[in-house]
Structure 1
Amino acid sequence: MNTVVLLLVTGLGLGALYFLIASGLSLIYGLMHVLNFAHGVFLSLGAFVGWEVAKRLDPSTWGGFGLALLAGAVAGAVIAALTELFLIRPLYNRHIEQVLITVGLGLVGVALFEGVWGTDPVFISGPSWFGQTTPIMGARVPNTVFITIAVAAALLLGLVLFLRHTRYGLIIRAGVENRSMVTALGIDVRRSFTLVFAIGGAAAGLGGVLASQYFGYVSAHMGQTLLIFAFIVTVIGGLGSLGGAAIAAILVAVPQQFANYYWGVGDLIAVLALAVVLLLRPSGLLGVKRA
């Protein structure tokens, strides 16, 4: 029973990480129909910048960790906004070129990180509370799981409130439904495009800092590795659906944890789940079928 509880809670923590990355992918595709294969670069950059900030202060303090989260989110948002302005915006409605340019940026980003921080993983530390565990029904759950879940839940709540109760949120939701109509009303949707990219990058940057604490290290390839599962989550939840991404993150991560522990085939389970959804419901769990 202890093992089941541990796998369940840690699976929720892994799902929270997947959601932090997939939320940005889902928002970007929902408004802009851009499959951003460079999203993992935003995550890795956020993780590295967060660690550099934390170690220059004191990584063992909550203040250092809080500033690392902020620095990671800002770094992710800035690089994402610059990517949209200079690489994506000139290629709207040219989907093949968009895919190629984001894949290329992903490869260049990994090479750049290896050149700056090396090819080996950089093992990190955090507040002493992160190295401790909390008992739940007899299971000793690492505290990093709880902080990851809390940040992901706060992000989901913040995004929902932003999309429903702000002017830019209204423009974004309207743009998802009918971009041409919003443009015809005289609203510059391009600003919303940049904002959505920045929000997605900030979420990825947060995910990078939390992933580095969750796994205990940061590496140049961490973002691209997690990006694979984030894409699986995004497709299963429904491209453009934030709620679908949250549900799919749990449905992918929890079985993956159990399958990895008992049979060592967690990655295979995630891919099979994607295949089943594509066969039975191609639009995803909460996705909308498009003409």
Structure 2
Amino acid sequence: MPLSRNVGDFDHLIRTTKAGPFYITLLPRCSYEVSYRPNQSAVGFAFESQSGVHAFASDRVTPFRTKPNSLAFVPRECEVFSSSKNGGEYLLVVDEANSQIENQVLRHFNNVIDPAAIAAAQRIRSALLGSAREALWVEENAGVLFERIRKELNASSKEAREARWMTPARLKLIDEFIDSRISQELRVAEIAVALGLSEGFFIRAFKAATGKSPHSYLIDRRLAHARVLLRTSAHDLCDVALTVGFSSHAHMTAAFTHRLGVTPGRLRAAMGCRSDSIATRRK
């Protein structure tokens, strides 16, 4: 049975599709609470950082803070509870055939940064948001996510020193710093200074911890804020662009098209749709 979070009033923003053995759900940024015991293995991908409490195969509920652009895995029959007041955009891929993970010691995990997984998750998100693709193309990218899960299950390497330096508290501070200045021109050096780091070390540590450069992550935060405004306000697109720090409507549209596969106008028009399907042929 497909897994999803209880998002209440945000149900109409959920995007779903079926591609081969995979049932794929794109969940919006919102508060949630969920408790389930999956019959199928599930891969999660957090596009944004989020915090809350969770428990896996245990009654012990502990706080968590998820890294942006991070991969997670829940094996079948693992009881899960998770709750967050702010949530974050999240991709969930369920292997309905239970055919992807075999003959391995299964364990749940999260906060894994993997460049190939980041690219695959972003391609799937673009397809769900409106960039028409063949179902086979989406299935291939979902398969990449499970391939990276198999790699992680077999991995024994330790996290790089720079990545370890980016603790959840420091990543939260970065989010707060960016969000408080989202409408302003912001340089990477300013974020580094706020953390008391040299710019060079900050760039290396941030990319090791999140899989993206600070500048690329800043664009992601601007896009996330813009999507909230598109959904919750009547501001025209030029005002939205300037409010979240883009230099112009054209600049914002280019970022939407490149990263999300859809223009802001088209995305706003689709907000009332309950789900999107993958087209049977490419545009």
Alignment TM-score, normalising by the size of structure 2:
0.25
Indicate the structure with greater strand content.
2
Indicate the structure with greater helix content.
1
Alignment TM-score, normalising by the size of structure 1:
0.24
